[in-house]
Structure 1
Amino acid sequence: MRLWSAAVLASTVGLSHAQEMAGPDIPRVLTPARLDQPLSEVPASVTIITQDMIRASGARELYQVMRLVPGMSVAKADGNVPSVSYHGTQARDHRRMLVLLDGRSVYRPGLARVNWNDLAIALEDVERIEVTRGPAAAAYGANAFSGVINIISRDPRDSEGQEARLRAGNNGIRDAYVSSGWHHGNGAFRISVESRGDDGYDAGLPPMEDGDGKRANTVNGRGVWELDNGDVLSFYLGGSRSKLERAPESSLRGLGDYQRLAIQRDDNAFAGMVWERQLSDWHQLKVSGYTQYSDEKLPLTMCYFDPLTGQHGAGGGLFFSREMRDLYLANDGDIGATLAAASNDPAVQQRYGTLLSSGADRFCGTSYLDVREQRYDLEIQDTIQISQWARLVAGLNLRYDRASSQTYLSGTADNVSRRAFANLALKPLSRLTANLGGYWEYDDLNGEHFTPRIGLSWRLMPGHHLRWVYARGLRSPDVYEDQAHSNAPISRLNGPFGDRTADWLGWDPAYFFVSEQADGNLKPERIRSREWGYYGHFGDVELDVRYFQEELWDLISGSISPVNFDADNSGKVTHRGTEAQLSWRPGARHWLRLSGAHIHTRSNSATELRFAARDSGSALWEWHALRNWWLSSGYYLARDYNNHPYERLDLQLAYRRALGPTHLEASLLVQHFLENEPVVFAENRYRADERFWLTLALRF
């Protein structure tokens, strides 16, 4: 991959002087400080996942390769919705890590999260992934809380021709991918289309009797032009559409029965452009902007139990009556007290009699969990070589976020952010490198904040470096956490209720009786991190070891569902532990990659411990046994996720052959689960111990 292109896409710029300072064997990264630097000098611990590692892992989906990162918690914790969290805490509300795709933040602003199912990039199009392990708010602002995953796609100038891939296996695995790239004059363009699907965890096991399969379709396009005056102009665009079978909402269990499978549909689209100018050999300027849109909707079609009898009946309509809402408000939003008082409240009893007079044997309808999110982002970044021993990157950012939801927000809420950042890389001594960084931001919801970071690297001898980093960070409350005002309407009512909703329920539209509202007083979550590290590169071995202490406070650990909104800043977590990663290439025919972490996590909230494994690790090995054959194996361990250990062994056999200008590749991968345990939660189970799939790929 071209270093220049990678710098544009990762929002970083490198200078030739820094390249001279790095030795030829030490890998270079772009993400931690927005500067091109050798791994030995960056102000963070970094994991690099290359295309070779992705291929050797045999992964089908992007989130799966994150298991190669020490300290990363990875699982499908919520049915078919992946959870990825560095130093994992909450299993479902994983909202404390920033993910970038070609410099664009895919961290959603409305209901803070990263939806890994909808990332519009295929693994074949990923050039490399740089994972900054530790707070990076000093470089990327709020929400780069525990770390940053920077996904860098292939430069169209480095690829031309067509590719196709088909994959099939048990568990309903059916994947397809096609890509085409071409060059024209000083420009290049690539477009890729992918479809992925599987049956998720096995159907028939409660509460997923109907299954939790998924189907995701994505398109991704990227173009680059080298203009006559030396400027580089690039653009990207794409989108995704996914369909997920969802298990019953835990907050609605006991209120009624589902009448049809709940299928969540997500639509996403994005477009962006980057312009870069080389002002001189020591001065570079970059301007970038993007827009993105997402629309998520989950219909819940249920027949509700009568709250007074506990059986199906027309009395189930009380859950959506105006009188129950009034009683709920009179009881200060206490659901239990409201239901207990319903049988003695005259207004509720009068409404109850009206519902029973309908003669209907059930009360059924459809409610929606819906959210639409939009973002517009503009950034200017300037990089300058001040002297032989000092480089500075600085910039300004303006962002507008909007979220719309009837269920979560009762309308629309927006937020405008203004930001400024800088990182100064100094080399006052030949052995010492210092990085001083900070990020200032002001947004309409959370006010003004500043997050600093300082990193020092001392070269003991060529290839051996000691590292010390102090960093602070924050995660600002999202639009929903700050502006929550839940109102869940019901529609498509059965029988007589649908014609005269106001007559039967007292209002039109009719809403679920529970309504939660934020007080708007939440503070940003905070983190303070210290680390001591060693980086060594000697012979065929590369080793990185990190010891860290992290303090997290003002955490929003309580429930934030539309029917149980209990958000405050009372959560606290401490992490203390050691991580290590080792790469060994004894020859051209095979290599080995090991990672491991031992972490002690303490918290005053049980929910913050569910995704925190004390011991975790991975091993990835590849061996090119014969000219056209190669073998790889992967091992993954986490003890434990929510008291459930995770242990898996993978084996992949692949064949590659060139037929003139055409390249054919076939592979078979088998996953064997070494633990007969559910994944995080009891409902996440597979019946069989093995998963396997066959992949056929063609490049021409």
Structure 2
Amino acid sequence: MPALAAEDDLPELNFLGELPIVLSASRLSQPTRDAPGAVTVIDRDMIRNSGARSIPELLRLVPGFQVGAINGHQPVTTYHGLADNAPRRMLVRVDGRSAYAPYVTSGIEWNKLTVDIDDIDRIEVFRGTNTVAYGSQAFMGTVNIITRTAAETPRARVRIDQGENGIQDRNVSLGYGTDVMTMRVSAGLEGDEGLPGLADSYRRHRGDLRVEFQLAPNQRLELQAGTVKLREQIGNDMPGTTDPVRTQRSAVSFGQLRWSWQQDGGDELSVTYSHQEESTRDAYTLTAADVPLLQLFPPLAHVDVNYDNDITRNDIELEHTMHPARDVRALWGVGYREDKVRSPGMFARTDALAYRSSRLFGNVEWSITPELLANIGAMAERSGGDDAQLSPRLGLNYHLGGGHTLRAATGLAYRNPVPFERYADMRFTEVLTNILLKHSYQPAPDVEAERMRFRELGYLGEYAAIRTSVDLRVFEERTDDLIQFRAADSPLPRPPFLSSKALWEAPMAKNVGEATLRGAELAVLWRPTIATWLGMNYSRIDIDSSNDRYVRSAPRASWSILASWNPVPDWTVSANYHRTGSMSWYRSKVDQLPAYHRTDLRIAHRFKVGPTRNEFALTLSNAGPDHADYLPALVSGPIAHASLRVEF
């Protein structure tokens, strides 16, 4: 039986050699110097030393990202702004599986990911549109989460987190291996009390399985499965509210199979199939005490509100990597996805709404000369009944020698409307009289895809003698036909108590937005050892738009300093400082956030007891003055927690 990996046994040389090999830029395995865009890699050691309890917290380490919290269990993340409380322009993938949720208002529901943060090998963030590789949901960027293989998993690992604000996390992982099969199974229970002043506590039960079979010397089969069950407090306790405090329950389960065949000459063929099922239970009743308008109706008048949903997804993809010539590598693939969602409250229909998309993609990496490398790619994607959209990209990388690379890229990207934007139809009806009281959203079947023309220049320097890398990106992103919800006359019968037709409106999606984003991002990292580094990120974003909400949706400037240090053997001290300029999340000017900063501190000690490898750590998150990162009234301050990891 092959030995499973111990984290302390990983050779330090793996972290001190050339810059990382990434998959997220073009789907081809490439060193970052050959990628057709800027990629930030957050590796396993950075994840651990950050002290983060969730993946969104880690995105603060990436230049150009904005991270906030709508409430204690609903983080909001975006790249380069242009986002409301439900960002829909960024893709998150976990081991090749899309975590994008197009069927409801938000693109990414972070708490529904089954992955344990300790099982993540690295996170690759492609900074910029990448529709050419992953389709329209990667309109503003891609977060690619890659977990450790089962063979890299310790035989047993337990992690306990306990701290202020009700932090109680318990996670366990077990690994097993034979000559032809390795397996990892993990489970966890996580939760806290949320933000001060809100009813937003949550508990999350999570479990996942990964099994890898070596079918033959050149064939491999991977099986992954996972489930999450969530219990979350939502709503508010204001008198007469139509959004009362309540407990929302949801569950997600998925399974994924990936077969890969390594062919002669380095070619590879793979087929990946995934199936996911999701359900949410959130139904309640409003009476005259909640809605004064109901006092005009007979006694016992009420409105039943039903945000329940049941969702299934099936996704299959074939991908082929080949070497048609000595200086050429190529990749092509096809994929098909079907989402079905039944949500009477959201779409005003009792049957399931089906949303289908198909894609054909490819990328050619051509070494024109030893110094000049070209990446030429395109994605043809069709969603719903729309015509196919073609997203092309041309990238050129010029290697100056001595570890210095110049990069240029240009192309066109599209984002197809999600079902909520096109088919949302939310109605609130008094049950006894069947009179429609309010039409909150109406369908927009003719809304079209958003579009972006982009170009960028970059410099990547690898200073091996001092173990330092410098990544500079200068960009322009011209977006138009952006989808916004605008008030429009409702086609439904007006209620008898509403005399003015002008007041009978319901928002609908329209292609009326445009914005041009220009700026620069700089990332510098000095890393002399595996656990010692000093990094600096800086981002400057200028948004030109006739829509003032777009202009204010990203900070003009933000920067961060990241540091980790081993003052003595077996002790690690780390600190992350972030400063974010004034911004707002596509809201009115009264919700403008002042500039704020936060500091995260962590001290950890590793020690051995018998056959176990252990780590005890203290983390102080959000140190410094209280601040708000979503709404000015939602202010949070420092929170401390302790963690204990035990590995066998």
TM-score by length of 2: 0.89
Establish whether residue 378 from structure 1 lines up as the match of residue 316 from structure 2. yes
Aligned twin of 1:546: 473
Q: Partner letter of residue 282 of structure 2?
A: L
- Corresponding residue to 1:90 among 54, 77, 83: 83
Aligned twin of 2:573: 631
Kindly indicate whether the alpha-carbon contact (under 8 Å) linking 2:71 and 2:194 is maintained by their aligned counterparts in 1: no
Q: Residue 78 of structure 1: CA displacement? A: 4.8
Kindly indicate whether the alpha-carbon contact (under 8 Å) linking 2:421 and 2:444 is maintained by their aligned counterparts in 1: no
- Corresponding residue to 1:667 among 601, 617, 630: 617
Establish whether residue 437 from structure 1 lines up as the match of residue 377 from structure 2. yes
Q: Residue 297 of structure 1: CA displacement? A: 3.1
3-state SS of the aligned residue for 2:340? Answer: strand
Q: Residue 282 of structure 1: CA displacement? A: 3.4
**For the structure 1 residues 457 and 560, does the alpha-carbon distance in structure 2 shift closer, same or farther, using more than 3 Å as the test?**
farther
Q: Residue 513 of structure 1: CA displacement? A: 3.9
Q: Residue 45 of structure 1: CA displacement? A: 0.4
Establish whether residue 37 from structure 1 lines up as the match of residue 30 from structure 2. yes
Aligned twin of 2:122: 128
Aligned twin of 2:461: 536
Aligned twin of 2:600: 650
Aligned twin of 1:481: 421
Q: Partner letter of residue 294 of structure 1?
A: E
Q: Residue 176 of structure 1: CA displacement? A: 0.9
Q: Give me the whole-angstrom Cα distance separating, in 2, the residues matched to 1:648 and 1:684.
A: 15
TM-score by length of 1: 0.82
| Aligned-pair identity (%) | 30
**For the structure 1 residues 454 and 589, does the alpha-carbon distance in structure 2 shift closer, same or farther, using more than 3 Å as the test?**
closer
Kindly indicate whether the alpha-carbon contact (under 8 Å) linking 1:260 and 1:301 is maintained by their aligned counterparts in 2: no
Aligned twin of 1:523: 448
Aligned twin of 1:460: 400
Q: Give me the whole-angstrom Cα distance separating, in 1, the residues matched to 2:121 and 2:437.
A: 48
Kindly indicate whether the alpha-carbon contact (under 8 Å) linking 1:257 and 1:304 is maintained by their aligned counterparts in 2: no
Q: Give me the whole-angstrom Cα distance separating, in 2, the residues matched to 1:560 and 1:384.
A: 51
Q: Residue 570 of structure 1: CA displacement? A: 0.4
3-state SS of the aligned residue for 1:138? Answer: helix
Kindly indicate whether the alpha-carbon contact (under 8 Å) linking 1:445 and 1:482 is maintained by their aligned counterparts in 2: no
Q: Residue 370 of structure 1: CA displacement? A: 2.7
Can you list the C-alpha shifts for 1:241-278, whole angstroms capped at 9, x where unaligned? 112212349xxx88x34696222222111101000112
Q: Partner letter of residue 272 of structure 1?
A: Q
Establish whether residue 69 from structure 1 lines up as the match of residue 62 from structure 2. yes
Q: Give me the whole-angstrom Cα distance separating, in 1, the residues matched to 2:549 and 2:284.
A: 26
Kindly indicate whether the alpha-carbon contact (under 8 Å) linking 2:444 and 2:509 is maintained by their aligned counterparts in 1: no
Q: Residue 300 of structure 1: CA displacement? A: 4.1
Q: Give me the whole-angstrom Cα distance separating, in 2, the residues matched to 1:106 and 1:98.
A: 7
Q: Residue 306 of structure 1: CA displacement? A: 8.8
- Corresponding residue to 2:262 among 278, 282, 294: 278
Q: Give me the whole-angstrom Cα distance separating, in 2, the residues matched to 1:366 and 1:677.
A: 37
Q: Partner letter of residue 181 of structure 1?
A: G
**For the structure 1 residues 589 and 285, does the alpha-carbon distance in structure 2 shift closer, same or farther, using more than 3 Å as the test?**
closer
Stretches of structure 2 that go unaligned for 5 or more consecutive residues are 1-15, 491-504, 585-591
Give the paired residue count: 605
**For the structure 1 residues 153 and 107, does the alpha-carbon distance in structure 2 shift closer, same or farther, using more than 3 Å as the test?**
same
The equivalences for 1:32-431 within 5 A come to 32-78=25-71, 80-111=73-104, 112-203=106-197, 208=198, 211-228=199-216, 230-248=218-236, 256-257=240-241, 261-304=245-288, 310=292, 316=294, 352=297, 355=298, 358=299, 363=301, 366-411=304-349, 412-431=352-371
Can you list the C-alpha shifts for 1:272-327, whole angstroms capped at 9, x where unaligned? 100011221232111111011221233344333597xx5xxxx6165xxxxxxxxx
Q: Give me the whole-angstrom Cα distance separating, in 2, the residues matched to 1:384 and 1:469.
A: 23
Q: Residue 87 of structure 1: CA displacement? A: 0.8
Q: Residue 662 of structure 1: CA displacement? A: 0.3
Q: Residue 646 of structure 1: CA displacement? A: 2.8
**For the structure 1 residues 630 and 460, does the alpha-carbon distance in structure 2 shift closer, same or farther, using more than 3 Å as the test?**
same
Q: Partner letter of residue 264 of structure 2?
A: S
The equivalences for 1:482-521 within 5 A come to 482-488=422-428, 505-507=432-434, 512-514=437-439, 516-521=441-446
Kindly indicate whether the alpha-carbon contact (under 8 Å) linking 1:612 and 1:641 is maintained by their aligned counterparts in 2: yes
Q: Give me the whole-angstrom Cα distance separating, in 2, the residues matched to 1:449 and 1:648.
A: 42
Aligned twin of 1:9: none
Aligned twin of 2:11: none
Q: Give me the whole-angstrom Cα distance separating, in 2, the residues matched to 1:573 and 1:475.
A: 15
Q: Give me the whole-angstrom Cα distance separating, in 2, the residues matched to 1:424 and 1:196.
A: 44
Aligned twin of 2:498: none
**For the structure 1 residues 370 and 665, does the alpha-carbon distance in structure 2 shift closer, same or farther, using more than 3 Å as the test?**
same
Q: Give me the whole-angstrom Cα distance separating, in 2, the residues matched to 1:455 and 1:228.
A: 37
Can you list the C-alpha shifts for 1:379-418, whole angstroms capped at 9, x where unaligned? 1111111122101100111111112110111222112222
Q: Alpha carbon RMSD of aligned pairs, Å? A: 2.3
Kindly indicate whether the alpha-carbon contact (under 8 Å) linking 1:662 and 1:698 is maintained by their aligned counterparts in 2: yes
Kindly indicate whether the alpha-carbon contact (under 8 Å) linking 1:557 and 1:605 is maintained by their aligned counterparts in 2: no
Kindly indicate whether the alpha-carbon contact (under 8 Å) linking 1:162 and 1:699 is maintained by their aligned counterparts in 2: yes
Aligned twin of 2:630: 680
Q: Give me the whole-angstrom Cα distance separating, in 2, the residues matched to 1:243 and 1:489.
A: 28
Kindly indicate whether the alpha-carbon contact (under 8 Å) linking 2:102 and 2:419 is maintained by their aligned counterparts in 1: yes
Kindly indicate whether the alpha-carbon contact (under 8 Å) linking 1:557 and 1:608 is maintained by their aligned counterparts in 2: no
Kindly indicate whether the alpha-carbon contact (under 8 Å) linking 2:607 and 2:614 is maintained by their aligned counterparts in 1: yes
3-state SS of the aligned residue for 2:46? Answer: helix
Kindly indicate whether the alpha-carbon contact (under 8 Å) linking 2:125 and 2:141 is maintained by their aligned counterparts in 1: yes
Q: Give me the whole-angstrom Cα distance separating, in 2, the residues matched to 1:438 and 1:259.
A: 45
Q: Give me the whole-angstrom Cα distance separating, in 2, the residues matched to 1:433 and 1:427.
A: 5
Pair member with larger Rg: 1
Q: Give me the whole-angstrom Cα distance separating, in 1, the residues matched to 2:267 and 2:163.
A: 52
Q: Give me the whole-angstrom Cα distance separating, in 2, the residues matched to 1:560 and 1:77.
A: 24
Q: Give me the whole-angstrom Cα distance separating, in 2, the residues matched to 1:32 and 1:435.
A: 10
Q: Give me the whole-angstrom Cα distance separating, in 2, the residues matched to 1:380 and 1:608.
A: 38
Q: Partner letter of residue 40 of structure 1?
A: R
**For the structure 1 residues 574 and 674, does the alpha-carbon distance in structure 2 shift closer, same or farther, using more than 3 Å as the test?**
farther
Can you list the C-alpha shifts for 1:228-251, whole angstroms capped at 9, x where unaligned? 3521000100011112212349xx
Kindly indicate whether the alpha-carbon contact (under 8 Å) linking 2:328 and 2:367 is maintained by their aligned counterparts in 1: yes
